[in-house]
């Protein structure tokens, strides 16, 4: 693509304008991906790239820190976390978010899109969950559901 842009740029006329437009799209897309570069797909994949590819191309556990921030901002507890990644949940998500609080009757599930889509496709584990609308999408790879 870069080679084609350079070639068209040198030709001038309408091709130069097409090259400028494509370059603008590429640069804009990169800016819009911030700060979720790891799980970012191009614009053609749409808002839900997990429908196309949900394995390690989308999810490396990079959004666990964003999940912690979300849980703190919304003061949520009783959150079960099912995520794909190498980081230890206990080191990133404080226990106060993971254990039930006496005043809280609600339970939440934060799940990596990798597990949600791949395990559901393999074993049908999350059929009911797939019919629900998540209350939040955390970064590009975790969704949060209210399950109680």
Q: Tokens 């666990």 label which residue?
A: 64
- The two structure tokens encoding residue 5: 């842009």
pTM recorded for the entire structure: 0.64
pLDDT-derived band at 125, boundaries 50, 70, 90: confident
Percent of the chain with pLDDT over 90: 13
Q: What is the pLDDT of residue 121?
A: 62
More confident position, 33 or 124 = 124
More confident position, 133 or 100 = 133
Q: How many CA atoms lie within 13 A of 6 on its CB side?
A: 3
pLDDT-derived band at 135, boundaries 50, 70, 90: very high
Q: What is the pLDDT of residue 53?
A: 62
- The two structure tokens encoding residue 63: 């959004």
The residue among 66, 30, 32, 79 whose CA lies nearest residue 141 is 66
> SS3 letters for 29-70?
HHHHCCCCCCCCCCHHHCCCHHHCCCCCCCCCCCCHHHHHHH
Q: What is the pLDDT of residue 108?
A: 92
């Amino acid at each position: 693509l870069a080679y084609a842009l350079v070639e068209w740029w040198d030709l001038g006329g309408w091709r130069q304008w097409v090259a400028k437009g494509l370059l603008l799209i590429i640069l804009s897309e990169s800016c819009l991906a911030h700060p979720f570069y790891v799980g970012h797909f191009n614009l053609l994949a749409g808002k839900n790239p997990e429908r196309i590819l949900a394995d390690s191309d989308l999810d490396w556990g990079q959004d666990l820190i964003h999940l912690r921030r979300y849980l703190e901002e919304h003061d949520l507890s009783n959150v079960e976390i099912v995520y794909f990644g190498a980081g230890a949940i206990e080191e990133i998500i404080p226990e106060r978010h993971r254990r039930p609080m006496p005043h809280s009757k609600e339970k939440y599930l934060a799940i990596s899109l990798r597990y949600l889509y791949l395990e559901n496709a393999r074993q049908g584990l999350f059929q009911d969950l797939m019919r629900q609308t998540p209350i939040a999408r955390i970064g590009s790879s975790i969704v949060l559901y209210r399950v109680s």
